[in-house]
Amino acid sequence: MTARAFDLVIRNAKVTTASDTYAADIGIVDGCIVQIGRQLGPGAREIDAAGRTVTPGGIDAHCHLDQPMAPPVRLADDFFTGTRSAACGGTTTVIPFAAQRKGGTLRAALDDYHRRAGGRACVDYAFHLIITDPTPSVLRDELPELIGQGYTSYKLYMTYDRLKLDDGQILDVLDVARQHGGMPMIHAENADCITWLTQKLEAAGKIAPRFHALSRPALVEREGAHRAIALSELLDVPVLLVHISGAEAVEQIRAARVRGLNIYAETCPQYLLLTALDLGIDDSYHGARCVCSPPPRDTDSQHAIWQGLADGLFTVVSSDHSPFNLEGPDGKTPGGQEVAFRHIPNGIPGIETRMPLLYSEGVLGGRISANKFVELTATGPARTYGLYPRKGTIAIGSDADLVIWDEREFTLANEHLHHAVDYTPFAGRTLRAWPAMTLLRGATVWDGRDFTGTAGGGAFLRRGLPSIAAIGLRTPARSAWLRDALPRVGAASPVSADPAPDLAPDRAQSPAPPPPAQPA
């Protein structure tokens, strides 16, 4: 009798990576891919992919789960329901946000988030930091230490009163990135313009959901993107601009890239598929369901973003899953009231629909190749956020996070989804694909009909430095000037970028740190 060489073999796969498409079997041992080839030996378990496309499991690098909100508002998904939904839509790694409280430490935020995710997450996870209070000790000690410990990305807001930083504070954080690495992410919208426009609209009685889009026009994002790019250029550090929505911001990023600047960009399905009209054509409250920031734009912006996906301008497609219920007092009608647009919780759900929408509209719609789909949903996020090649590809040594795709048409309804939200803004759309199976480190977490994962089945991921930034397009003259002009800050022990999978220090699942001493 032949010995079983593998725990699992996926046979007859159309293996699809960011660079290649080929027919092969995939051999898996201990949750890792150990062999790829024709006619592999037997496995203890076998799955026949029957020639269907097999991609790496998706990485949703921008989602909000169980993030504390000002009462009565509350995110509908916690780490269990949010990651269950992710798994059923083909996503096997999520990177939500741990937000610093003003006056609090980054460590306290992380301890709180580890407590929320530990034992609950059904797919692997890491955290971006949100820095709201860059005090001297955060800049000198905490942030460098945490970068060294594998928290290698941090989001900075230019808008939202409770979160925003001024330009000097953003430069302070970018200066830490210059010395210690990591990927600063910027939410680029001009706060003062938004406040001014909101006041003018309210004074004119224009408070319906649709006026949310008018309070944050594309120009406001364009200005924020331009300023973020200038700040990045000043210190010669990479920056990733999150949730890009408008053609004008796309132009700014394109100009920066043409100049060789180290600027990266993310967009989301809502900016490819929704427009400002989805916020309403009259003053009905129905449009509250699509209120998010930045708001969806117009068809010209949709085209500019599709073009940017196809030609490499964008590195990452995320969901920006920010789930608020339509019904009840804790979501889009805070306290059970229909409110002026400025008080509508910002955000829409999308963690489960991100991959199927992009596969349907992008790949099967003929707008991007299947390889580009993999690059945007898995490989790009892995390289941007220090997870590659453990995550984000199909290669020997990588985790066996895999999606087998079923190409069939159906009309999407919220009842199909596994989040805890009472709607999807994409209901009624014809989808042309959905995962037939999702595997997390070789274990089936979605079998095409049911969620088959477990709470606590997801592992915390300690991350390396981003490889795209480590090999970024530095300008030698400017860098030399910076070395002379600016002293080093803090003392970091930078983690290496993209360790080879078999050398990765975090091959073993890193246990979550002990529970925090104090709830924040």
Contacts of 389 (CB under 8 A, 6+ apart): 382, 395, 397, 398, 498, 500, 501
User: Which of 292, 374, 382, 469 is close enough to bind ligand URP by CB under 6 A?
Assistant: 292
- Residue 346 contact among ligand URP, Zn ion, none, beta carbon within 5 to 8 Å by kind: ligand URP
- Residue 233 contact among Zn ion, ligand URP, none, beta carbon within 5 to 8 Å by kind: none
Cβ proximity to ligand URP, 14 vs 187, nearer residue:
187
Under the binding rule (CB under 6 A), the answer on residue 77 touching ligand URP is no
Q: How far apart are CA 231 and CA 175, in angstroms?
A: 10
Report the nearest approach of ligand URP to the CB of residue 167 (Å).
Answer: 18
Q: How far apart are CA 380 and CA 316, in angstroms?
A: 6
**Residue count at the site for ligand URP (CB under 6 A)?**
9
The H or E element that residue 373 is part of is helix 370-374
What are the tokens at 170? Answer: 């953003």
Under the binding rule (CB under 6 A), the answer on residue 67 touching ligand URP is no
Q: Rounded to 5 degrees, what are φ and ψ at 331?
A: -125, -125
Cβ proximity to ligand URP, 55 vs 293, nearer residue:
293
Under the binding rule (CB under 6 A), the answer on residue 187 touching ligand URP is yes
User: Which of 320, 361, 399, 498 is close enough to bind Zn ion by CB under 5 A?
Assistant: 320
- Residue 292 contact among ligand URP, Zn ion, none, beta carbon within 5 to 8 Å by kind: ligand URP
Contacts of 154 (CB under 8 A, 6+ apart): 128, 129, 130, 131, 143, 173, 182, 183, 184, 185
Q: Which residue is nearest to ligand URP (CB)?
A: 346
Under the binding rule (CB under 6 A), the answer on residue 66 touching ligand URP is no
| Residues 135-154 interacting with ligand URP (rule: CB under 6 A) | none
Report the nearest approach of Zn ion to the CB of residue 163 (Å).
Answer: 9
Taking a C-beta distance cutoff of 8 angstroms, is the pair 249, 308 a contact? no
Cβ proximity to Zn ion, 187 vs 419, nearer residue:
187
Under the binding rule (CB under 6 A), the answer on residue 178 touching ligand URP is no
Report the nearest approach of ligand URP to the CB of residue 349 (Å).
Answer: 11
Cβ proximity to ligand URP, 43 vs 82, nearer residue:
82
Task: Name the percent of the chain in helix, strand, coil, to the closest 5.
Answer: 35, 20, 45
> Residues for the chain: how many in total?
520
Q: How far apart are CA 482 and CA 474, in angstroms?
A: 12
Taking a C-beta distance cutoff of 8 angstroms, is the pair 401, 125 a contact? no
Under the binding rule (CB under 6 A), the answer on residue 439 touching ligand URP is no
**Which residue type does 253 have?**
I
Report the nearest approach of Zn ion to the CB of residue 346 (Å).
Answer: 9
User: Which of 187, 212, 354, 390 is close enough to bind Zn ion by CB under 5 A?
Assistant: 187
* C-alpha distances in Å from residue 84, one per residue of 63, 250, 265, 312, 449: 13, 33, 27, 30, 13
Task: Provide the H-helix boundaries in 89-210.
Answer: 106-117, 136-137, 143-148, 167-180, 191-203
| Residues 339-378 interacting with ligand URP (rule: CB under 6 A) | 346-347
Binding site for Zn ion (CB under 5 A): 187, 320
Binding site for ligand URP (CB under 6 A): 64, 187, 243, 292-293, 320, 322, 346-347
